[in-house]
Amino acid sequence: MYASTTVVARFGVVGRLKCGFLGAMISSHDFDAVIWDMDGLIFDTERLSFFAWQEGAKAIGLEIDLTLFQSLIGMNSQAIQARLLAVLGDTTDVVALSKAAGVSYDGLIAAGPPLKHGAKSCLETIAASRIPQALATSSSYRYASKKLEHHNLLKLFDATVTGDQVTHGKPHPEPYLLAAEKLGVSPTRCVALEDSVNGIRSAKSAGMQTVLIPDMCPHDDESLSRVDHQFTSLEHALPFLKQRCGIA
């Protein structure tokens, strides 16, 4: 039996989410689900991505500096291409640039993406509890599944949302709203783990509690105002998650 909940996000998005009967009951803990970003949070891949974009830009005679790259973190491929056109000019061959960067990136992660410290143990601890968890990444399903399978992590997620499965990517709330919908949990009962400005904005606009684990993306005061909790690593965040999710 399900109860229906209407969610109105800051971006004006209205989502109809199915919330299980048990999920609608008063809970003894604060969060009923954990929603994960991936790159820069689970995997230490943002530096590799920056290098790949630099190599891709060089291949067509352009340059991507750190500031531009940081503005791309958390976006899906469609949003990235639009951002590159806006900054580099509408005559830029963003398809060729993206392809060249992709070839470089594939080579960099061929041996498997490096894990962030504490990521695997954090995922495994939550998976072993009764708390469901979902992925909300801007990477394509091809990339996300390949990376997660390499470390045998894909099976730990109850649902996945990737950048090629949404109409509007981060910072729009759709990825997080869809992740909550797939889990059958109200967004207000979810905690989102993120590293980027675009990801934090997406999760907060979806009505979730936000946890920031900073990586390469700097956060100004406006972004930090959307952060509910901040930790230096997932290892340090785990005791908080266990307590707030009611995990013994």
Count of beta carbons in the 10 Å neighbourhood of residue 6? 8
Q: Strand order in 159-161's β-sheet?
A: 159-161, 133-136, 33-36, 190-194, 209-212, 229-230
- Look at the alpha carbons of 176, 181, 186, 189 in this order and tell me if their dihedral is positive or negative: negative
- In whole angstroms, give the CA distance from residue 193 to residue 227: 10
- In whole angstroms, give the CA distance from residue 96 to residue 118: 36
Is 32 an annotated catalytic residue? no
Catalytic entry in 32, 37, 195, 215: 37
Helix axes 94-108, 77-88, angle to 10 degrees: 120
Tokens of 178: 């869809």
Residues with catalytic function: 37
